[in-house]
Every structure is written in C-alpha cells, then in structure tokens.
Amino acid sequence: MAKIIRTPSRGGKPMAKLDFKESLSVFKRLFKELGSFRIRVIIVFISIVLHSVSYAVGTMYLKEILTFIFENAANGVVDFKGLAEMMAWFIFIDVIGILTITVASRMTLTIAASMLCQLRVKMFDHMQKLPISYFDRNIHGEIMSRYTNDTDAIRELLSNGFRELINGAVTVLSVFVSMLILSPILTLIVIGNLILMGFLVVIVTGKTGKYFLGIQKQTADVNGYVEEYIAGQKVVKVFCHENVVVKGFGKKNDELRIIGTKGSTYAQILMPLLGNLSYLNYAIVAIGGSSLIALGKMGSMAAGIATLVMFLQLARQIGRPVAMISQQFNAVMMALAGAKRVFDMMDEPVEVDDGYVTLVNIQRDENGEIRECDCRTGSWAWKHPHKDGSLTYKELKGDIQFEDVSFQYVKDKKVLKNVDLYAKPGQQIAFVGATGAGKTTITNLINRFYDIPDGKIRYDGININKIKKADLRRSLAMVLQDTHLFTGTVMDNIRYGKLDATDEEVMKAAEVANATSFISHLPEGFNTMLTSDGANLSQGQRQLISIARAAVADPPVLILDEATSSIDTRTEAAIQKGLAQLMKGKTVFIIAHRLSTVRNADAILVLQDGEIIERGDHDKLMLLRGKYYQLYNGLFSWE
Amino acid sequence: MWRKLFSNVNQYKKYAILAPLFVVLEVVCEVLIPKIMTYIIDDGVAKGNINAVLINGGIMVILAGLSLLLGLLSARFAAVASMGFGANLRENMFNKVQNFSFKNVDKFSTGSLITRFTTDVSFVQQAFMMSIRIAFRAPVMLILSIVMIFTINIKIAIAFVVLVPLVWGLMIFAMKFVVPLFEKLFKKFDALNTKVQENLTGIRVVKTFVRENHESASFRKASLDLQDAQIKAEKLLVYANPLMNFVTYAITITVVWIGGIQIMQATMSAGDISGIIAYIGQLLMALVMVAMVFVNLFMSRASARRISEIIDETPDISDKDADPSVKVEDSNIIFDKVSFKYKEAAENPVLSDISFEVKKGEVLGIVGGTGSGKSSLVQLIPRLYDASQGNVLVGGRNVKEFKIETLREAVGMVLQNNTLFSGTIEENLRWGNPNATQEELEEACKIASAHDFIVSFPNGYKSDISQGGVNVSGGQKQRICIARALLKKPKVLILDDSTSAVDSATEAEIREGIKASMKETTLIVIAQRIASVIDADKIIVLDDGKINGIGTHKELLQNNNIYKEIYNSQLGGVR
C-alpha cells in the first residue's frame, strides 16, 4: 500500500538485464552491504518462513476441522467440546502467523530505511570524490537516476520483494503438497490448468513488453516535442505559428495514444485473464471433484466433501502466489540491475591525490623565520616534507609556471600543445581565443581538475602534483562562466567561499563585487532564500554573487572564467573598481570574450587550436597587427 | 477537480461508460460462481446426483467464460478510454499553452510545464484508469458478496455487516494519520534530490572551494531526515499486512465456529460453507482494492492540481473585440506615457512614463544596462505583453485594435534568446513565409549574411538543425534568425540584441543591407555595443525603466552622462 511514487528522471537509460552470474554477484554484494543488519535480516527471514509455514499448516488444519464437522453432521452428533478444542489449536497457529508477520514487517521497515540511507550516503560521499572527468562523461540525469529510480527499486526489493518472494514460494510449495495429499487426480487437473495459464501469461506479457518499448519511444518523442516548443514558445508567438505547432503535436500525440492503447490493452487484460481462468480452473475442478465423489472415488461422502471444499479453496489460492512470484521476479531483476548501477558508481576510481605538500597558516618570528601557526594569520605557506625527513616552508605567493604542457580530454585530440607560460605574483594574465581554443582547459589544469600527462606546472616553484589537492584548490578561487547557486540564503551562498566568515566579512565581499545594491532590493536582503539554482535572479546578478563568493575566500590566485560576460559593460565598469581591489596583489587569470575586459592585463595570450599564437600586453599586440588587432577592430570574429 | 479533469475524456466517453458497465457485469458473474458451487455440492455431490453436478458445472463454466469475455472487453474499453483521456489532456494542455501570452508563460517555468506534460499526465491517466475499473469493481463486489452471504446464512452475514465497516473505519482512521506523514516524506525526498542535483550541476564549484566534506555532511543530514520521515510514515502502514492477516483469520474462525455448529445441528449445508468461504475471499480482496483506489487518487492529487492549473489559466491577452478588417497601414510607432509591470503586485514598474515617436522608415536604437527595461519596451509593440498604463500605437492605431495575428504579421522581431527548431534550415526559414520561393529565401539570407555559410554546409539549405540549434555556432544561429524575420517582410522590424555573437564588421553589413532593402520598414535595434546604434536616427538611453536621454549619437555624447559612460566603457567604440 505504501508504494512511494517513483521520482521521474529524464535521461535515465532503460535498465539493462543482468545475466545470472551478474545477478548473483550483485546479490552477494547487496547482502554484504547489509553489514550490521545481517542478524536482523536473518531474523526477518526466519519469521517470514515461519509465517508462511504457519499459514500452510493452518489451511491444512482447517480441512481437519471441516472433516470433523461434516462427519459429526453425518452422524447427527453435536460435539461442541471437540470443535472448541480444534478451534483453539487453529487460533494458536494463527497467532503465530500474525506475530511472525508483525515482527518481520516492522523489522523490515527499519532495515530498509536505514540501509537505503547508508547506501545513499555512501554513494554521495563517493561521488564527491570522483574526478571532474566522471561528471563530463556521464549525463546528469543518469547519475541522478541512481539516487531515485535505482535506490527506489532496491527499496522495493528490500521492503516487499524478498518477503513476497519467500512467502509466494512457501505458499505455492505448501499448497501443492496439500493438494497432492488431498487428491493426486485433482492436482493433475490443476497442474494442467496452470500450464495453460502460464502459457497465456507468457504470450500476453511478451506482447506488453513489445509495445512497452514502442510506447517509451513514442513518449520520448512527444516529450521532446513539448520540450522543444515550450522552450521556443516565445518564437512561436512572434511568428503566429501556434496552429502549425498544435497540429504537429496532435499528430505525435495521436500516435502515442494508438500505441499506448494497444500496449495498455495487453497490460490490462492480464488481471481479468488470470482471475477468470482461475474461476474456470475452479469450475473444472468442481466438476471433476464432484464426479469423483459421486463415483465414490474419494472415500466417504463426508470426507469427500470436506476434501473437495478444501481443495477448491487451494485451487483458487494457487493462482495468486504464482502471479505474485512472476511479478516479483521482475521486480527483483530490476532491483538487482539498479543495485548494479549503484555499485558501479561506488566502484568508480576516485580522484588521485598523492600530494604531500600542504598549506598552513604562518607567522614570522622576530628573526623573520617562518613559523607554523594554528590560528588564522592571513599569511600562508607551503609545508614541504622532503625525502630526507626535513621540512621546509615556502611562502604562498601565487607564482605559476607552465612548462611544455600538453593535454587531451580524448585520445588523439590535443587541446593544448606544448604550452609555456608564467605568471608572476600580482600579475594579470588574460586568455583570448575562440570557443574550444583551450582557454578554460588551462585553468582546469591549474587546479588539477584534470592531470597532465606531459609537461610540468609549478606553483611557487613546487610541482603541483606534489601538492595535496584540497590545499591547492584552497589557494585559488574561481569564478566560473556558469554560476551555480545552492538552495539557501544569499548570505549562505556567498559564505560558501569561506565557511567561517562572519556576516560582516560576507557583506564586505558583496560590496567588493558591487552586489550590495541588488541584494538590498531583494525581499529579505541577504536573508532571501534562493531556490532552484537561483532561478529568480538574472544571469548578471548570479555572476555578482559568484564574484562575492570568490572575494570572501580571498586566496592569492584568482581565476575569472568569463566572469563578467553577462554583465553589461557599464555595470562591468562599475564592478571593475571592486574587482581591481579584489585583484590587488593577486595573480589573476582572466578569460573573457569581451576585449574591453582584458585590456588592462599585464599579458594577453591569444590561443588558437591549443597553441599560444600571440602574447604581450595590449599595446604590444596592437602594434603587432595580428589576430588580436583584427579582433579588436572588429575585422574578425571567432564565431 | 477530478470531475472537471475527467470531463476531458470527450470522444472516448462511450468507452469510459462501457468499461465500468462491463466491470460490473463481470463482477456479477464472479459473484454468482460460488453460489453455483454450493448447488453442485448440496444438490449434486451430497445427493449423489451426477446430472445436477454436470448441469451446475456447465453453468459455472459458462459463467466463467462469460466473465472472462466481459473482463477482456472491459479491459480493452478501459485502455481505449484512459489512453484517449491522457491524449486529450495533453492536447488540451498544449493548445492552452499555445494560447498563453508571454505573461502566462512566465508564470510557469519551462521545466515545470514539461513535468506537467509527462509525469503529471501519466499519474492522472492511471488514476482515471483506476476510477473506471477498480473504483467500480471493488464496491460492487463488496456489496454483492455480502448480499450473497445473506442468501446463504443470515447470522454470518450480520457478523460481516458489522465487521466490514469496522475494518474500513480502521483503514480510514489510519489513512488520516498517515497521509500528512507521507506528504512530509515526499518533501524530504524532494529536498534530497535537490541536494544531489545541485551537487551535480555545481560540482566544479564544490571542488574549487574544497567543499566536498561540507556537502557530504549536509547530504548525510538530508538522508537521515528522509530515513526518519520514512520510518515515521510507514510505521503504521507496516501493520496493514498483519492486520489483514488478523482479519482473515478472525473471519475464518467466526465462520467455521458459527457454521460448524449449524452444520452439526443440520441447519446449514456443506455447500453453504464452501460458498461462504469463497465469498470471504472476494470480500477481502474488494476491501484491499478500495484502499488501493484511495491511495492512488491521493497520490495523484498533486498532479491533477498541477494540470488543472494550466487548463484553468486564462490567457491574459485577448483580441476578441478587435476588428479583423483593420490592417496595419503605416509603420510609425508612438509610445504615449507607457508604464509596465510584469506583475500587478510588483512595487516598482519595469517601465515608467515612456513617451516617444518613431516615424516610418526610421531607425531607432535603444541602449541601457542589464535590467533597464530595453527588451520589455519592445515587447509591448507586437503585444507580447500589454502595457499597464498608457498607449502603444502602431500606424496610428492602438495595438489593441488589431487582431493579434494581423499585428504580429506586421511586426517582425528577433528575440534575444532566439530559438531554431529541429528540421532543416529551409524549414526554419519558412516560418517567416511558408510560400517563399528559393530566390526569396536566398535574398533574405544574403541580407542577413547567412547565405555564404549556409551553402558551405554539405546539404546547403536542406541541412538539418538539431534541437535547440546546437550544431550551428551562436553567430550563425543569430543570422539565420534574422533571415527568418526578414522573410516576413515586416513593416516594423525589431532586433533585440540579436547580433551580439556576430563581429562588428559583419553586423554593420547586415544593418546596411536591411536599410537598403527595406526602406519603408521602421527598424528598432537594441544593442550592447554603441557601434550598433551609432548611425540610428534616434537613440533612447534607458535607465531603470525610464528614458534618461533621447537623441542622435552626437547629441547624446554631448549631453547624456550614461551614454558617455557606456561609450567610454567600450573604449570609444570601434573606430
């Protein structure tokens, strides 16, 4: 009853079926994940088996009671005491059944809920450690579906699947045994009917499956259409194309309806088919049984009737667990496929981090020597342990050097070719070039989102591979082209740059980014809640928040990747003052589309196809009369 | 709400009526079968009468067959009706959305609209399916099986009449408790999913600021919250299973006890008890089904509400009173004390007290910072939004006097965030004019500087554009969009920052081309670059929704500070 609605996920691939060996290994892994719950799982298992057995025994015993009643009736005896005694036993069996299922159900809930919580947390923790390239390779919707569809399938398996499967199996087994004991001949009739039923079910589900694929495809088609034309709604209006678009939709929609009706018909007839076939089964057994009794083939009349009544009950019951098992079997396979995808993600190799140089706060003592310090001093140094056991400190300055760096995301497609560059502390270096020229890649290498196969990058003279990633990244701040905001207040979002920043620090940072004026216009100022990635803010406003975020972090190196692209030039000019303050004394890398943004840089590097083709400051490049000059005079565009 | 939604079934109404009708008939057959069974046992078996067994057995087979046929037919009808219903829902929603004004569209985000078409429709469709089948099946079965028990044994029947409402009451009572808990649970689910989603899209931010642990900790909290909510919500429900067990046993014990004594006293027959046991089965099943229907309707309630929101939304721009014979005669534009707000309740207007005039064939430039209201201003001309105060006149008439189609035929607009649709380049161009000849297409593309790159594609004008136009560059896309608008041969052409990805030299060419080929057309250009408007007959400087200055480039450079600032921020523009 408590079925949780499956969270829809777009972009999730249909689940692939696992073969037997895979299923088994996933199953084992799942059991291992149960960890501390293992004992409880075993208790649940025993309870369910006990419950199913008690149910079977109860049904058998009921037959004894009925026989007793009919025999008494045939002999004209009214034996209250005997009946009461038998009923007492029956109640005893029932109580066991109820108690065991209660225990099993309650414990299952706790196990399933806690286990899923554990699994999710584990999955998330692991996800946080995965390298950026993993997120490039996988569609977000697909990763997302591991948290939604896949975990939900596992939940279904844990909370219902196993129980019903065991229950169904024990029931079928005991019902069969009971039937065989009651009457082998009638059992044969039932088996015949069941085979027929099974045959029909296979045909119908086969058809359903076939149409289901078609429905999926057509649904995707309709959704795609809706997505495209709703996103382009305004253009449709401008061109008065509503009627054409509606007609196009009608066609696709009708196709979906037609195939949907076919598929749904097969899905819908399964239940009446099974239900009514079990009635036919019932009728046939009744005719056969009655004939047998009338022919005297089933012992005394009383015993015969009791047997037939019970048998008919059983014959009706057998259909349900059989249907249940086949249904659950599907669910189990789905859950295992889901579990496999979850485990696959947990098995993804995490970001390599064998750096040992760390970033520490320092203080200078009276001799000017660097001393490590636990408090926040505002000055930092690289703590560099050497092989010989000695320890050196090197002050964090923000000196960055690329030596013959080449890089490729995919094989044989070099994005950077033998790049050499240096940035002295306090310098501003700008990158200019077409989309795909490698500008963003350079910055992605500095913070080690990706590792380079060839060449060296040095940070204050230390090879960045030796620096612990977390410390490396802490020493840089990035303002990215696509701003991402998190659910929380404006204050929280800015504070993301430095978690222990005071409210004053946050406000000061907002001031630097020139964001205070628009923030104060928000309904609740700094305490305004932002939801769905700050959907209620304009792109420009989001960029301002993201600049403030970098300002509050205040590291020695700053990377601005198209940080002001969505801000108009006049506002940009206004925040330039703030930015200038922010950039003072820092090494800054600027990537910008707009040339006015990079004009004041100490060095401008023009990138083309992964190579630096021109370098120098604005005046030098203008004199050079090369690409930069053309670009600047609007004689040429990257597009 | 449900009733109104269900009325969307329309042309499939016949099936929506037949399905439950057949379901009811099927149930009647199903309920009769155990009754026949009692005859087989009592008249046939007990009396050793083979004929009675065969006759009743035959009747039973016929009933089962009939019930099978009815069941299959009702399933088919239900499938036709519910799929048709779903299709109608989508169609009606889509039509509605197409009638929405920009204001209506803004109210629903694109993402939320799409969810309504997908998840929500499928939930409601399922609820509909349940409503026409199980919602009929369960109660009818419940009542009929109690009636049948009455015909067999009044004492036992009375026991049921007492028991069933009791169980039912218990269920509803439990539901009252559980429903709000589940609502809470769903919220926790959403919160958790949002967390994951944010971390996926913002993974680079998380990593640059080394916030992995911070995020993990907050995810752990969300996950534990969910766990608690889940246990809390389902705690009561897990007892449903044992409870059902208990009820089954309790009923069986009661029946066997009362029935057993009566049989021993020879006041009840063996057949009767088999009948009763069978009816118990049906009755319990019906009870469970009723609960299922309730749960399903509850679960899809939110979806139904979201769909109704769309269907009930009234398009807020209407041209009902406009005279279709009124044409756009002239292309001068007048704004007369126009103010505009996106929402009635908004405190600050987006545009306030805007008045100006552009004459036929003139070029008007509009500059101003982000959020100064440039796009809002031009969108009032083709009535994408209606002015809150004041009048917008095109060709001397208030825009509200035209049929919307007439007006928008005459006003071409290239939007800031423009879209190409999947299909060939040619198909996209034809949006401007479905009957354009190849020459006309090429001419428009030449003016928009698009012809050269289009013919450089392997399939030329027949090249495919993928969804959203991702396979052409930003500048190419903008140029195709301009050509598309040119094909309309509009009287007024509005370019809303639509050459931002085109280099300034090409941009200048495009502007020259448009001016030369469309002398009668009034051109309105919104631009970030001063260079784009430098030659305009008139330039409006917008600031915070107000006109800060109006004049030619020269005039503004002399007397308008904002204009000067913009000019200087662009290093004096392009020389």
CB contact under 8 Å between B237 and A106, yes or no, is: no
Structural contact between residues B138 and B293, judged by C-beta atoms closer than 8 angstroms: yes
Structural contact between residues B419 and A226, judged by C-beta atoms closer than 8 angstroms: no
pLDDT score for B469? 61
pLDDT score for A427? 81
Distance of CA A502 to the CA centre of its chain: 34
Crossing angle between the packed helical segments B504-517 and B438-447, to the nearest 10 degrees? 130
Give the nearest chain A residue to B33 (CA atoms). Answer: A279
Whether the predicted interface score ipTM is above 0.85: no
Residues B475-496 as b/e (b if ≥16 CB within 10 A, e otherwise) read: bbbbbbbbbbbbbbbbbbbbbb
pLDDT score for B85? 92
Structural contact between residues B481 and B418, judged by C-beta atoms closer than 8 angstroms: yes
pLDDT above 80 for A104: yes
Residues A158, A162, A167, A173: what is their CA dihedral angle, to the nearest 10 degrees?
180
pLDDT above 60 for A15: no
CA dist., res. A470 & res. A562, Å (int)? 24
Most confident of A203-207, A335-339, A587-591, B388-392: B388-392
A88 interfaces chain B, CB cutoff of 8 Å? no
What are the pLDDT digits (tens) for A62-76?
877 877 887 787 777
pLDDT score for A255? 92
Between the alpha carbon of residue B478 and those of residues A357, A496, B246, B447, the distances in Å are 49, 37, 71, 13
Of B61, B129, B418, the CB nearest to A283: B61
pLDDT score for A438? 75
Residue of higher predicted confidence among B22 and A36: B22
pLDDT above 50 for A296: yes
Min Cα–Cα distance to chain B from A20, Å: 32
Across residues A590-610, what is the average pLDDT? 77
Min Cα–Cα distance to chain A from B266, Å: 6
CA dist., res. A264 & res. A257, Å (int)? 10
Question: Mean pLDDT, chain B, as a whole number?
Answer: 83
Contacts of A570 in chain B (CB under 8 A): 369, 562, 565-566, 569
Residue A171: count other Cβ atoms within 10 Å of its Cβ: 23
Residue A531: count other Cβ atoms within 10 Å of its Cβ: 12
Give the nearest chain A residue to B72 (CA atoms). Answer: A269
CA dist., res. A476 & res. A479, Å (int)? 10
pLDDT score for B76? 92
pLDDT score for A156? 80
CA dist., res. B503 & res. A399, Å (int)? 36
3-state secondary structure of A240: coil
- Closest C-alpha to A485, from A560, A577, A548, A407: A548
- A290, A479, A529: best mutation site toward chain B, by most B Cβ within 10 Å? A290
Of A272, A570, A571, the CB nearest to B72: A272
Across residues A602-618, what is the average pLDDT? 81
Across residues A516-543, what is the average pLDDT? 74
Across residues B78-88, what is the average pLDDT? 91
What are the pLDDT digits (tens) for B176-188?
777 788 778 878 8
CA dist., res. B277 & res. B255, Å (int)? 8
Q: Which residues contact A29 (CB under 8 A, 6 or more apart)?
A: A339, A343
Structural contact between residues A587 and A427, judged by C-beta atoms closer than 8 angstroms: yes
Residue of higher predicted confidence among A125 and A596: A125
> What count of CB pairs under 8 Å joins A to B?
448
> B162-171, B228-237, B422-431: lowest mean pLDDT where?
B162-171
Min Cα–Cα distance to chain A from B518, Å: 19
DSSP structure class, residue B117: I
CB contact under 8 Å between B226 and A117, yes or no, is: yes
CA dist., res. A439 & res. A431, Å (int)? 6
CB contact under 8 Å between A253 and B474, yes or no, is: no
3-state secondary structure of B529: coil
B10 interfaces chain A, CB cutoff of 8 Å? no
pLDDT tier at A8 (50, 70, 90 boundaries)? Answer: very low
List, as ranges, residues 497-556 from A with C-beta within 8 Å of B.
497, 499, 532-533, 535, 538, 540, 549, 553
- B80, B238, B243, B477: best mutation site toward chain A, by most A Cβ within 10 Å? B238
Residue type, A496: Y
A158 interfaces chain B, CB cutoff of 8 Å? no
- B39, B73, B196, B300: best mutation site toward chain A, by most A Cβ within 10 Å? B196
pLDDT above 50 for A144: yes
CB contact under 8 Å between A269 and B72, yes or no, is: yes
Distance of CA B84 to the CA centre of its chain: 17
pLDDT score for B28? 92
Structural contact between residues A549 and A496, judged by C-beta atoms closer than 8 angstroms: yes
Give the nearest chain B residue to A5 (CA atoms). Answer: B299
CB contact under 8 Å between A101 and B261, yes or no, is: no
pLDDT score for B574? 41
pLDDT above 80 for B378: yes
Angle at A185 between CA A181 and CA A191, to 5 degrees: 90
- Residues forming a β-bridge with B510: none
Residue B384: count other Cβ atoms within 10 Å of its Cβ: 23
Across residues B111-130, what is the average pLDDT? 81
List, as ranges, residues 226-255 from B with C-beta within 8 Å of A.
226-227, 230-231, 233-235, 237-242, 245-246, 249, 252-253
B285 interfaces chain A, CB cutoff of 8 Å? no
CA dist., res. B391 & res. B400, Å (int)? 9
Contacts of A148 in chain B (CB under 8 A): 193
- Closest C-alpha to A540, from A517, A559, A563: A563
Residue of higher predicted confidence among A639 and A631: A631
- What's the token pair of residue A541? 């406003």
DSSP structure class, residue A17: P
Contacts of B277 in chain A (CB under 8 A): 309, 313
pLDDT tier at B70 (50, 70, 90 boundaries)? Answer: very high
What are the pLDDT digits (tens) for B251-274?
788 888 888 888 777 777 777 877
pTM exceeds 0.80, yes or no: no
Contacts of A272 in chain B (CB under 8 A): 26, 68, 71-72, 74-75
pLDDT score for B392? 92
CB contact under 8 Å between A238 and B384, yes or no, is: yes
pLDDT above 50 for A5: no
Structural contact between residues B118 and B259, judged by C-beta atoms closer than 8 angstroms: no
pLDDT score for A10? 34
pLDDT above 90 for A635: no
Quickly list H helices, A130-183: 132-137, 140-145, 151-156, 162-182
Residue type, A639: E
Contacts of B220 in chain A (CB under 8 A): 121, 124
pLDDT score for B573? 40
Contacts of B299 in chain A (CB under 8 A): 5
CB contact under 8 Å between B278 and A316, yes or no, is: yes
3-state secondary structure of B494: strand
Min Cα–Cα distance to chain A from B10, Å: 14
pLDDT tier at A594 (50, 70, 90 boundaries)? Answer: low
CB contact under 8 Å between A8 and B115, yes or no, is: yes
List, as ranges, residues 128-147 from B with C-beta within 8 Å of A.
129, 133
Across residues A253-266, what is the average pLDDT? 89
Q: Which residues contact B549 (CB under 8 A, 6 or more apart)?
A: B540, B541, B556, B559, B560, B562, B563
- Residues forming a β-bridge with B424: B464
pLDDT above 70 for B482: yes
Give the nearest chain A residue to B532 (CA atoms). Answer: A634
Structural contact between residues B551 and B356, judged by C-beta atoms closer than 8 angstroms: no
pLDDT score for B322? 79
List, as ranges, residues 177-206 from A with C-beta within 8 Å of B.
none
Across residues B338-345, what is the average pLDDT? 80
pLDDT score for A376? 67
Of B75, B94, B266, the CB nearest to A249: B94
Residue of higher predicted confidence among B241 and B390: B390
CB contact under 8 Å between A234 and B253, yes or no, is: no
pLDDT tier at A550 (50, 70, 90 boundaries)? Answer: confident
Domains detected in chain B: 2-312 (1.20.1560.10), 333-571 (3.40.50.300)
CB contact under 8 Å between A1 and B295, yes or no, is: yes
How many C-alpha atoms does B521 have within 13 Å on its Cβ side?
A: 25
pLDDT score for B493? 92
Across residues B144-156, what is the average pLDDT? 86
- What's the token pair of residue B23? 């379901």
Residues A3-30 as b/e (b if ≥16 CB within 10 A, e otherwise) read: ebeebebbebeebeebeeeebeebbebb
Across residues B367-378, what is the average pLDDT? 82
- B152, B421, B467, B566: best mutation site toward chain A, by most A Cβ within 10 Å? B421
Residue B459: count other Cβ atoms within 10 Å of its Cβ: 12
pLDDT score for B265? 79
What is the percentage of chain A residues whose pLDDT exceeds 70?
89
pLDDT tier at B7 (50, 70, 90 boundaries)? Answer: confident
List, as ranges, residues 408-447 from A with C-beta within 8 Å of B.
435, 447
pLDDT score for B22? 92
Residue type, A499: L
Structural contact between residues A476 and A397, judged by C-beta atoms closer than 8 angstroms: no
Across residues B50-54, what is the average pLDDT? 78
Residue type, A263: G
B346 interfaces chain A, CB cutoff of 8 Å? no
Across residues B285-304, what is the average pLDDT? 79
Contacts of A120 in chain B (CB under 8 A): 192, 219, 223, 226
pLDDT score for A466? 83
A352 interfaces chain B, CB cutoff of 8 Å? no
pLDDT above 80 for A314: no
Structural contact between residues B251 and B163, judged by C-beta atoms closer than 8 angstroms: yes
Of A268, A287, A497, the CB nearest to B79: A268
3-state secondary structure of A3: coil
Across residues B269-288, what is the average pLDDT? 80
> A29-43, A396-410, B459-473, B507-521: lowest mean pLDDT where?
B459-473
Contacts of B192 in chain A (CB under 8 A): 120, 147
What is the percentage of chain A residues whose pLDDT exceeds 90?
1
pLDDT tier at B53 (50, 70, 90 boundaries)? Answer: confident
Give the nearest chain A residue to B476 (CA atoms). Answer: A639
Between the alpha carbon of residue A290 and those of residues A230, A311, B45, the distances in Å are 67, 11, 5
Residue type, A373: C
pLDDT score for B366? 92
Read off φ and ψ for residue A137, nearest 5 degrees: -75, -30
- Closest C-alpha to B296, from B85, B120, B128, B118: B128
pLDDT score for B335? 92
- Closest C-alpha to B192, from B228, B225, B235: B225
CA dist., res. B109 & res. B416, Å (int)? 18
pLDDT tier at A7 (50, 70, 90 boundaries)? Answer: very low
Structural contact between residues A549 and A484, judged by C-beta atoms closer than 8 angstroms: no
CB contact under 8 Å between A147 and B61, yes or no, is: no
Residue of higher predicted confidence among A607 and A567: A607
pLDDT tier at A637 (50, 70, 90 boundaries)? Answer: low
CA dist., res. B485 & res. B462, Å (int)? 19
CA dist., res. A595 & res. A560, Å (int)? 14
> A10-24, A409-423, B176-190, B534-548: lowest mean pLDDT where?
A10-24
CA dist., res. B26 & res. B72, Å (int)? 10
Give the nearest chain B residue to A300 (CA atoms). Answer: B46
Residue B340 Rama label (left phi>0; alpha psi -120 to 50; beta):
beta
- Closest C-alpha to B409, from A321, A237, A576: A237
CB contact under 8 Å between A127 and B260, yes or no, is: no
Residue type, A38: R
What is the percentage of chain B residues whose pLDDT exceeds 70?
96
